[in-house]
Structure 1
Amino acid sequence: MELKFNDYLISTDKALLHRETVRQLLGNTYWANKRPAEKIDKSIETSLCYGVYHGKSQIGFARIITDWATTYWLCDVVIDDTYRGRGIGKKLVEIITQSDELKGLSGFLGTADAHGLYERYGFARDADRFMVRRPK
């Protein structure tokens, strides 16, 4: 999938991903700043990935984990700081949530600070039902 948005390209073509850029983008987040490079690489290999590009530069990333039948987990949504505030993250989430590939599947995600963004695209808070088990 490739889609133009203003001067940006959003694509699921993994061949376009700049892995070092993805590692840097994730390294600047609160949720993945301690994630080793080999884990980032493995997560890319085993997930549906979305890259966002401005010219030849990658400026955004998102990842989907799914069984393709019932559910998907939206994670690692990140836009380079210098490109924030331009609607790129909103467009990325819109494209993901409206994709034919994920149509009819229940979507899940975790966020500490972007509830308002995701609520615009049909996600609802449900703190009473979800649990987490993190590796030690």
Structure 2
Amino acid sequence: MHIEFDGYLISDDKMLLSVEAISGFLGRSYWASERPVEVIEASIRNSLCYGLYHEGRQIGFARAVTDLATMYWLADVYVDEAYRGTGLGKKLVDAVINSEELRGLTGRLGTKDAHELYKQFGFVMDEGKAMARRAGG
């Protein structure tokens, strides 16, 4: 997928991804600030990944873990702080969930602070239904 608009690009081409930029984004996040670069690299290898670029520089990222048949887990959605509030996060999420690979699949995600963003795309709270097991638990 290559979606170009107003000088921006959203692409699923992993060759364009900057592990350095992604590691920087995630290092500033509340959910992955302790994630080692080796784990980030493995997660990229084993997921569908989407980069958001402006003038050749990566400014956003999203990752989907999926069986490509029934469901996906949307993870590590991030837009550089300097570009927030411009609608780019919405464009990135829209491109991911409507990609050829994920369209029609059930999507899940976890967030502490972006509920309103994801509600715009049909995600709903399902408290009481989901369970989780953390690594090492």
TM-score scaled by structure 2? 0.96
State how far apart, in whole Å, the 2-side matches of 1:114 and 1:5 are: 24
State how far apart, in whole Å, the 2-side matches of 1:18 and 1:96 are: 18
1:14 is aligned to 14
TM-score scaled by structure 1? 0.97
State how far apart, in whole Å, the 2-side matches of 1:100 and 1:110 are: 22
| Correspondence 1:85 to 2:85 | yes
2:36 is aligned to 36
1:104 is aligned to 104
State how far apart, in whole Å, the 2-side matches of 1:99 and 1:23 are: 24
How far 1:31 moved relative to its partner? Answer: 0.2
Q: Deviations over 1:55-92 (max 9, x none)?
A: 12100000000000101000000000011111100000
The count of aligned residue pairs is 136
Structure 1 runs of 4+ aligned residues shifted over 6 Å read: none
State how far apart, in whole Å, the 2-side matches of 1:59 and 1:107 are: 24
1:1-136 residue pairs with structure 2 within 5 A? 1-136=1-136
Q: Deviations over 1:16-69 (max 9, x none)?
A: 001101000110000000111100000000000000100121000000000001
Letter in 1 for 2:15: A
Letter in 1 for 2:128: D
State how far apart, in whole Å, the 1-side matches of 2:4 and 2:67 are: 27
Q: Which runs of 5+ in 1 are unaligned?
A: none
- Give identity over the alignment, percent: 54
How far 1:6 moved relative to its partner? Answer: 1.6
Report the RMSD for the aligned CA atoms in angstroms: 0.8
